[in-house]
Chains A and B, each alone.
Chain A
Amino acid sequence: MSVPIQLVIDGKQAAFEVGYAERLVDTLREKAGLLGVKRDCGRGECGACSVFLDGRLVSACLVPSIQADGSEIWTAEGLSREGRLADLQAAFSELDAVSCGHCTPGMLMAGEALLRQYRRPTTEQIRHGLAGNRCRCAGYDRYVAAIRKVARRRAARRTAEP
């Protein structure tokens, strides 16, 4: 048995037929072709499949696709626009916060969630905010540094804006 659902993924409308037990990570990867949403542990431990679901950070492997019907989803593939890296991606690049790159999409989404939650997150807040995202290459200190850098830049931009 399958059920029709409608999603807005990275700003684009999409419709799928999904099974009752189907997880959002599988819909995004296998049906929407968004292979940047990684499927690793399948039980919410690694954060590799982190996406925004109606503005909230979720592990897509824990969300039944049916539950996401009518939702807006943002993935790491939607962060860069017209081939230009977003500020968080650029900071990851500047601070060499990329190793094998497998956890990177999830880490970027977790970082973006933190930056939306806190205007100037402390190191402790960032460390706790990233605790659900595992990096096998253990590059955590660089992720923390990159997120802090973006927070400072965004704060400076806000201050400069009239």
Chain B
Amino acid sequence: MIPNRMHRHTWIGKRVAQRETADRLSARLAFGADLRPDGALVVLPVLGGQANARLVGLDLDAARSLPGVQAVLLARDVPGYQPPGEAPILCADRIGCATDAVALVVAESAPAAREAAAALQPEIAPDPEWCVPADPLDAAGLPSCRIAELRFERGGEIDRCFAQGVQVAERDFRLPVIPARPDFNAGACEPDAQQRIVLRSASRDPRADKERIARLLGLPEERVRVEAPAGGGLFDAADPRVGLRLALACQHTGRAVRYLQPERAPGPARSLQIRLGLAAARGGRLSALCLRLILDLGAYATREQASEALRALVIQAAGPYRIPCVRIEALAVRTTHGVWSGPAEAFYSLACTALESQLDALARKLGANPLTLRRDNLLEAEQESPAGIPLAGIAGGAELTRALRRSKLYSLRRQRKRTRADLPPALARRVRRGVGLACHLCPLPASGSTGLALTLHADGGARIELGASDWGRAICTAVSLLLAERLDIDPERIEVSAGMSEVSGAELSGAGGMQPMARAVEEAALAAERALGQRARDLLGWPPGAVRLRAGELEGPDARRAGVDRLIGPEGLRVQACASSPETFCLGAHVALVELDELTGELAVEAIEAHLDAGLPVNRSALERIGRAGCALGASAVLGTGPGSSLDAPAEIAVSPIAHGGRPARGLGGAPIASAAAAVLNALADATRARGQPDGLQPGELPVAQSELAAGSGEAS
């Protein structure tokens, strides 16, 4: 499926199974909820259950007197500092979100904890002084609920630009408030022999969690250690308060504790609203974009988080096209929804859908082929996006267009094969086929920095400890390939552990992606070579000069060589490296083939192709896996909610990296998902185009309501 262009590499570009695959398959891999320290107490949060409310009372005596109950902790038991506005580890009085906790029960067993939680009977009263709306549109009208704004205008008067060209009217796109996914995150925490609190819980950024725990518990940072085990779910919400609560209970009781998720529906998730209009000159050059966006950030978000989230969405909604006249108004608002109530892929999907759906509508007005319209307007590398961002390190539009021209699915559109050849004519007439295309531009944030520790062993093997956590161990596998390539050793001889907030006292930053990771590997290899070069000069009398480590041998000046066993003792050689990377972007596209049953209105996504620019694809297996997941998640964003099911998933998925042109290794971010849903919706419009309905069915809401599909299929027939 992916052409092998990696001739000059030994390990990079290979198809390698991720680490721990055997443990995953034999059900032996322990996730946070599977950790059972000896004699661990159980920690169960008691939720407030309603927003805009005040905690009036709790029956503490009743709960504490029950057998097996060790403690009932309240906000006043948090010894350290919690800044105002940060999501509270426990609510003191005001409750901003229904899933906020008002108390923590610490008990000997799960039944005892549940009994105590029931006995607490929290008395919650509505708080008339604190009326944050649930609806983001209502929140947008309240200055107190506006967290961040992003306004951008260039290229002159937008109304004039719209009046002069061929335009598609502004349309609304909506991600309504849908049920949030339950948070499966759990974990365990225990004191160790050095009087430290050691937390093991899925974490997006172990280093940041460590800082937060130390601040909240009033401890010096060296008294806290975070080790993130494997996390469940590619896009798990991972509320960091889980770890904070565990650490609080551990500090309070001095014993090992483990987390029990409360059995409660997670409440509604955050939503997004977009209004987008486009205009083009008669020749097909895009001339104007008008974008309005309201992002619901839930009950707690800092201005910094809000600005970052807005910027990422605006970049995606404004797309990878040259548009001279732009007006963008984006607003992030506070509501009563859960902060970590995902689903992130739905946000990416809607941002991309708004633009790409309007582009197809514009192509129809212009009488242009959708691919031609995109080809004529796609940005090239180093050009500025409509959101005013110079695009560094991306594949250009020409490369993407070349990839799309080779698309097997898109050729079906050109051939106008709109009915199924494999069905009898009577049935085939009832199944309408459509092909849709959508491009995306996704930012990979510049905040991704990472640290790692590299230990070289005398036998030529190596060990890497990563600061970043890694859900599926994809980065662990990729790092072993990068180091194996750099040092010319077998990746099997490289041990990798991830999710450490520190390694032997040395701080490692976390949350890094592939790009800083690749840089950190190179920095660590260079540091190891410098250290070995010095040892070679000291021990073997080598002259000064450049050295290089390859296949367990140090190559030095005058063709000198020495095995590392002569330079490294049994303790090994240990170096550390830290690297960050500038913001970069993923450009790509999806092509989808859908079938709509005219009788039932049932929509099936038959096939999706993903064309993704991953830079240097380090592990082709991981790239394909993530790309396939993106296609399935995009389809399920259209067909249903959440990660969907096997019935939503496309029957055929193909993932192709765009020719990399020597770009460095980097991750994919949200790119595998971003335009998949948009391509499906454009395919739906293509399938339902009919006389009297030239634009076809163009739903503006994700997921698409079955009633809308049924009505649309009827009109098409």
Contact of B22 with A30 in the complex, beta carbons under 8 Å: no
Give every chain B residue within 8 A of A139 (Cβ-Cβ): 625, 628-629, 632
Shortest beta-carbon distance from B558 to chain A in Å: 47
CA distance A92 to B625 in the complex (A): 13
Query: Which of B33, B110, B230, B632 lies in contact with A138, CB distance below 8 A?
Result: B632
- The proximity string for A residues 131-155 relative to B, scoring 1 for CB distances below 8 Å and 0 otherwise, is 1111111111111100000000000
Shortest beta-carbon distance from B551 to chain A in Å: 29
Query: Which of A108, A133, A135 lies in contact with B25, CB distance below 8 A?
Result: A108
Contact of A141 with B632 in the complex, beta carbons under 8 Å: yes
Contact of B232 with A131 in the complex, beta carbons under 8 Å: no
A67 proximal to B (CB < 8 A): no
- The proximity string for A residues 76-90 relative to B, scoring 1 for CB distances below 8 Å and 0 otherwise, is 110110000100010
Contact of B628 with A141 in the complex, beta carbons under 8 Å: yes
Give every chain A residue within 8 A of B263 (Cβ-Cβ): 42
B253 proximal to A (CB < 8 A): no
A19 proximal to B (CB < 8 A): yes
B62 proximal to A (CB < 8 A): no
* 25 sampled A-B residue pairs with Cβ under 8 A: A26-B110, A35-B36, A38-B33, A40-B184, A77-B27, A80-B25, A85-B25, A96-B17, A98-B21, A99-B472, A101-B230, A102-B232, A104-B24, A128-B646, A128-B647, A130-B645, A132-B645, A133-B646, A134-B642, A135-B643, A140-B645, A141-B649, A141-B651, A141-B652, A141-B653
Residue of A with least CB distance to B110: A30
Contact of A138 with B636 in the complex, beta carbons under 8 Å: yes
B621 proximal to A (CB < 8 A): yes
Give every chain A residue within 8 A of B629 (Cβ-Cβ): 99, 137-139
Give every chain B residue within 8 A of A19 (Cβ-Cβ): 111
Contact of A89 with B628 in the complex, beta carbons under 8 Å: no
Chain B interface size, under 10 / 10 to 19 / 20 to 34 / 35 or more: 35 or more
Contact of A80 with B26 in the complex, beta carbons under 8 Å: yes
Shortest beta-carbon distance from B623 to chain A in Å: 11
CA distance A77 to B26 in the complex (A): 6
CA distance A21 to B330 in the complex (A): 50
Contact of A85 with B26 in the complex, beta carbons under 8 Å: yes
Number of A interface residues at 8 Å Cβ cutoff, please give it. 48
Interface residues of A (CB under 8 A from B): 19, 26, 30, 35-42, 75-77, 79-80, 85, 89, 92-93, 96, 98-102, 104-105, 108, 123, 126-128, 130-144
Contact of B26 with A89 in the complex, beta carbons under 8 Å: yes
Give every chain A residue within 8 A of B630 (Cβ-Cβ): 138
Which of B209-217, B233-241, B268-276, B317-325 is the interface stretch?
Answer: B233-241
Contact of B22 with A140 in the complex, beta carbons under 8 Å: no
Residue from B34, B110, B629 with most neighbouring chain A CB atoms (10 Å):
B629
Give every chain B residue within 8 A of A102 (Cβ-Cβ): 31, 184, 232-233
Residue from A37, A99, A142 with most neighbouring chain B CB atoms (10 Å):
A99
Contact of A140 with B632 in the complex, beta carbons under 8 Å: yes
Contact of B22 with A40 in the complex, beta carbons under 8 Å: no
B182 proximal to A (CB < 8 A): yes
Besides A40-B232, A101-B21, A101-B230, 20 other A-B contacts (C-beta < 8 A): A35-B27, A35-B30, A36-B26, A79-B26, A93-B25, A99-B472, A100-B231, A100-B234, A102-B233, A104-B24, A108-B25, A108-B27, A123-B651, A127-B647, A133-B646, A134-B645, A136-B233, A138-B643, A139-B625, A141-B650
B76 proximal to A (CB < 8 A): no
Residue of A with least CB distance to B653: A141
Contact of A93 with B233 in the complex, beta carbons under 8 Å: no
Chain B binding surface, main DSSP class: loop
Residue from A37, A100, A104 with most neighbouring chain B CB atoms (10 Å):
A100
CA distance A100 to B233 in the complex (A): 6
B624 proximal to A (CB < 8 A): yes
CA distance A40 to B30 in the complex (A): 14
A89-B25 contact given A100-B231, A136-B233, A136-B235, CB 8 Å threshold: yes
Give every chain B residue within 8 A of A142 (Cβ-Cβ): 625, 628
CA distance A92 to B646 in the complex (A): 16
Give every chain B residue within 8 A of A141 (Cβ-Cβ): 628, 632, 649-653
- The proximity string for B residues 501-529 relative to A, scoring 1 for CB distances below 8 Å and 0 otherwise, is 00000000000000000000000000000
B20 proximal to A (CB < 8 A): yes
Shortest beta-carbon distance from B434 to chain A in Å: 21
Give every chain A residue within 8 A of B406 (Cβ-Cβ): none
Give every chain A residue within 8 A of B230 (Cβ-Cβ): 100-101
CA distance A85 to B184 in the complex (A): 27
The 4 closest A-B pairs by CB, nearest first: A36-B27, A101-B24, A102-B232, A136-B233
B614 proximal to A (CB < 8 A): no
CA distance A137 to B625 in the complex (A): 9
Query: Which of A96, A104, A108, A136 lies in contact with B643, CB distance below 8 A?
Result: A136
Residue of B with least CB distance to A37: B27
Contact of A138 with B633 in the complex, beta carbons under 8 Å: yes
Shortest beta-carbon distance from B283 to chain A in Å: 40
Give every chain B residue within 8 A of A37 (Cβ-Cβ): 27
CA distance A135 to B236 in the complex (A): 11
Residue of A with least CB distance to B345: A138
Contact of B646 with A143 in the complex, beta carbons under 8 Å: yes
A75-B632 contact given A93-B22, A100-B232, CB 8 Å threshold: no
CA distance A76 to B26 in the complex (A): 7
- The proximity string for B residues 650-673 relative to A, scoring 1 for CB distances below 8 Å and 0 otherwise, is 111100000000000000000000
Query: Which of B472, B621, B633 lies in contact with A100, CB distance below 8 A?
Result: B472
Give every chain B residue within 8 A of A96 (Cβ-Cβ): 15, 17, 621, 624-625
Contact of A131 with B646 in the complex, beta carbons under 8 Å: yes
Shortest beta-carbon distance from A103 to chain B in Å: 8
Give every chain A residue within 8 A of B645 (Cβ-Cβ): 130-134, 140
Give every chain A residue within 8 A of B633 (Cβ-Cβ): 138
Shortest beta-carbon distance from B107 to chain A in Å: 14
A98-B28 contact given A41-B182, A136-B643, A140-B632, CB 8 Å threshold: no
Give every chain B residue within 8 A of A132 (Cβ-Cβ): 645
CA distance A93 to B27 in the complex (A): 13
Contact of B28 with A36 in the complex, beta carbons under 8 Å: yes
Give every chain B residue within 8 A of A30 (Cβ-Cβ): 110
- The proximity string for B residues 634-650 relative to A, scoring 1 for CB distances below 8 Å and 0 otherwise, is 00100000111111011
Contact of A99 with B650 in the complex, beta carbons under 8 Å: no
Contact of B27 with A104 in the complex, beta carbons under 8 Å: yes
Give every chain B residue within 8 A of A41 (Cβ-Cβ): 182
Interface residues of B in 5-51 (CB under 8 A from A): 15, 17-18, 20-31, 33-34, 36
Contact of A127 with B646 in the complex, beta carbons under 8 Å: yes
Residue of B with least CB distance to A142: B628
Residue of B with least CB distance to A109: B27
Shortest beta-carbon distance from A76 to chain B in Å: 4
Shortest beta-carbon distance from A50 to chain B in Å: 11
